[in-house]
Structure formats: C-alpha cells, structure tokens
C-alpha cells in the first residue's frame, strides 16, 4: 500500500525504483506463508488449492494492462493512488485469514499416515536442481513477454500504446487460465506429466512466434502463456511433496526464485535489447523452453511412495 502511494507521487526515477521495491518486498513476504495457508485449506487437493491461490495474482497481473490503459494513461500518474485502496481491503481480508490460521494451528491435529517418497537424498537434491532449471527457463521466457511484448509490438507492427496493452492482456489472461487449470490437472494425472507437457510442449510455439504476423501472434502468445503457466502450481506442489515438512521453505525458495529470475531476466534482456535489438532478443528467448527436456529426469513421486 505504501509502495503504491509512493509510486503515485514519485517525481524522479530513483523514487520510482524505491516505490517498486516496496511493492515487491510486500509481495515477497506474502507469498511463502500464504502458500502454506493455501495447502492447509486444501482438504487434500493440493494442486487445486495452489492453482486457486496463484490465479489471484495472475488475474491481477492480467487486468493490470487494462487498468493502465483505462485509468493511468488517461488520468496520469497520480491515479495510481486509487489502487492502494485494494491493498487496504486486502489487509482487512488477511486479518480474517490470520484469525482462521491461528485457530487451525491451535486445534489438536489427528495423527495421519501420510505417505512419503523413498528417494535417497542425492536423488532429491538432483531433482530439486532440475526443478530450478525449469523455473529458470519458464520465468526468463515469461520476463521477455511481460516486460517487452508492448515494446516489441510497437516496434515491429507500429501499434499505439493502448492497443499494445490489450495484446499484453490477452497473454496474461491466458497465463491466469493456465494457472487455474494446471493444479487440478496435476492432481488427476500427475504433476510430473503436467510439468513435462507444459514446459517442453510450448517450445514449438515459442520457436515460431518471432516469425509470424500480428494476427497469428495473438493466439500463439495465448497458447504459450496458458501452457507455461500451467506448470508452476504443479512444480510448487511437486517440490512440497519432494521435501515434506518444509512447506514454507520450499514455497519461499520457488516463489523467491520465480520473482528474482523474472527481475534478473528483465534487466538482462533489456540490456541485450539495447545491444542487439528487441527482435534478436525474442529469437534468442524462443529456445529457452527447450530446457524442458530436463523434465525427463524428474521421478514420478506417486511410484516412489512408502509408509513412514
């Protein structure tokens, strides 16, 4: 909330960075613990709960370009202050969630016979490394779209800012839909299968995207956004099952890397765009999903179960 208010009043670029850092810090603190609460409220459907939790953020990101086009562009920077009211409402909602969470923690927990995997520690660490590599490929590519799609469309197709914002909305809407469906699909057919199909399966579409026209780019970016986003809920729950009893740690690691890699990717790709041009950056990033081949090394945790 403070970051949004500061952003609405920032008169210099350093102040914009400080305000953005405040917003990012609040988001970073929020996500790991809220992921734990989502799992606690899942009733055993961990993938579905993780998808519902994550789709809230994706939906907010999807509507961001529309709100920028409808409110910020016509009314100026100070109109950003209106969005701080949403943060205030969220604080009130989270106060109620905190009361529920405290009550849940105080209840006597029934003894369960939760099944754990039987993988050795070296295999667990190797699997975690594969997941982190897949996170890298996914979020570096998403950073290229989130940060530069508007400028790419304006540069290549001479679109105005408002129209380019609509194209970004189409992509982010598909990301939200993929996030919502990825978790429950993983509950049904297995998280390894969802990770494999989503990250590697998107490669043909990313490889074609830099070479198509404006009309074809809309469905392609939507397919890419849907398929890539469907992997993340499955990856988070897969990692939570890989390292049971460390829900908060695993969630913090994955959300932290997701946000951090997106930020590093945006900076690195922006530098490359200045050097080589934005078209070259899009062609280079189109190969990143091929790292999805590493998913072949992920063990199927459903076949590696043992009772404690």
In sequence order, which residues have a C-beta less than 8 Å from that of residue 155 and are 6 or more positions away? 278, 279
Q: Distance between CA 93 and CA 218 in Å, rounded?
A: 36
- Convert the pLDDT of each residue in 104-130 to its tens digit: 877 745 544 445 666 888 888 899 899
Number of CB atoms found within 10 A of residue 86's CB = 12
What phi, psi does 299 have (nearest 5°)?
-75, 155
> Same structural domain for residues 156 and 289?
yes
> Same structural domain for residues 156 and 82?
no
Q: Distance between CA 265 and CA 145 in Å, rounded?
A: 11
Q: For the chain, what is the domain count?
A: 2
> Same structural domain for residues 142 and 251?
yes
User: By the 8 A CB rule, do 148 and 270 touch?
Assistant: yes
The answer as to whether 56 is a domain residue is no
What's the full length of the chain, in residues?
A: 308
Number of CB atoms found within 10 A of residue 103's CB = 9
- Convert the pLDDT of each residue in 144-156 to its tens digit: 888 888 888 888 8
* Average pLDDT of the residues in 284-303: 84
Residue 307 has pLDDT above 50, yes or no: no
The answer as to whether 2 is a domain residue is yes
CATH number assigned to the domain comprising residue 67? 1.20.1250.20
> Same structural domain for residues 270 and 202?
yes
Q: Distance between CA 65 and CA 16 in Å, rounded?
A: 18
The answer as to whether 50 is a domain residue is no
Better-scored residue on pLDDT, 6 or 302? 6
Burial 240-252 (b: 16+ CB within 10 A, else e): bbbbeeebeebbb
Mean pLDDT across the chain: 84
| Three-state DSSP class for residue 102 | helix
* Average pLDDT of the residues in 207-214: 90
* Average pLDDT of the residues in 196-214: 88
> Same structural domain for residues 139 and 239?
yes
Nearest residue to 217 via CA among 125, 290, 134, 286: 286
The answer as to whether 1 is a domain residue is yes
How far CA 131 is from CA of 143, 229, 236, in Å, comes to: 18, 15, 9
Global confidence as pTM? 0.74
Number of CB atoms found within 10 A of residue 291's CB = 20
User: By the 8 A CB rule, do 31 and 255 touch?
Assistant: yes
In sequence order, which residues have a C-beta less than 8 Å from that of residue 214 and are 6 or more positions away? 153, 157, 159
> Same structural domain for residues 149 and 99?
no
pLDDT-derived band at 253, boundaries 50, 70, 90: confident
Instruction: Supply 234's token pair.
Output: 């499955």
User: By the 8 A CB rule, do 215 and 223 touch?
Assistant: no
> Same structural domain for residues 193 and 236?
yes
> Same structural domain for residues 156 and 217?
yes
Percentage of residues in the chain with pLDDT exceeding 90? 16
The answer as to whether 188 is a domain residue is yes
Q: Distance between CA 218 and CA 204 in Å, rounded?
A: 15
pLDDT of residue 303: 64
The answer as to whether 114 is a domain residue is no
* Average pLDDT of the residues in 217-243: 88
Instruction: Supply 281's token pair.
Output: 């950056």
The answer as to whether 270 is a domain residue is yes
pLDDT-derived band at 250, boundaries 50, 70, 90: confident
> Same structural domain for residues 162 and 258?
yes
Which segment, 127-131, 139-143, 259-263, is predicted with the most confidence on average? 127-131
> Same structural domain for residues 258 and 198?
yes
> Same structural domain for residues 91 and 175?
no
Residue 215 has pLDDT above 70, yes or no: yes
Task: Look up the domain containing 71 and give its range.
Answer: 62-75+122-297
């Amino acid at each position: 909330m403070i970051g949004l208010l500061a952003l609405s009043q920032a008169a210099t670029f350093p102040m914009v960075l400080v305000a953005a850092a405040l917003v990012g810090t609040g988001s970073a603190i929020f996500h790991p613990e809220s992921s734990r609460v989502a799992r606690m409220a899942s009733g055993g459907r961990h993938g579905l709960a993780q998808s519902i939790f994550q789709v809230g953020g994706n939906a907010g990101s999807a509507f961001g370009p529309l709100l920028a086009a409808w409110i910020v562009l016509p009314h100026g920077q100070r109109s950003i202050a209106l969005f701080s009211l949403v943060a205030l409402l969220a604080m009130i909602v989270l106060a109620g969630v905190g009361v529920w969470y405290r009550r849940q923690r105080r209840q006597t927990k029934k003894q369960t016979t939760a099944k754990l995997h039987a993988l050795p520690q070296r295999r667990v660490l190797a699997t975690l490394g594969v997941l982190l590599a897949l996170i890298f490929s996914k979020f570096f590519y998403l950073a290229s779209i989130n940060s530069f799609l508007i400028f790419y469309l304006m540069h290549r197709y001479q679109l105005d800012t408002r129209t380019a914002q609509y194209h970004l909305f189409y992509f982010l809407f598909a990301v939200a839909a993929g996030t919502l469906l990825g978790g429950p699909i993983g509950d049904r057919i297995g998280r390894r299968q969802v990770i494999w199909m989503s990250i590697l399966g998107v490669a043909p579409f990313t490889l074609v995207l830099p070479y198509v026209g404006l009309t074809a780019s809309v469905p392609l970016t939507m397919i890419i956004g849907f398929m890539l986003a469907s992997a993340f809920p499955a990856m988070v729950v897969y990692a939570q099952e890989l390292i049971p009893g460390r829900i908060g740690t695993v969630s913090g690691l994955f959300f932290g890397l997701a946000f951090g890699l997106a930020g590093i990717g945006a900076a690195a790709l922006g530098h490359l765009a200045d050097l080589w041009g934005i078209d070259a950056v899009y062609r280079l990033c189109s190969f990143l999903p091929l790292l999805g081949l590493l998913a072949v090394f992920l063990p199927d945790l459903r076949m590696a179960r043992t009772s404690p």
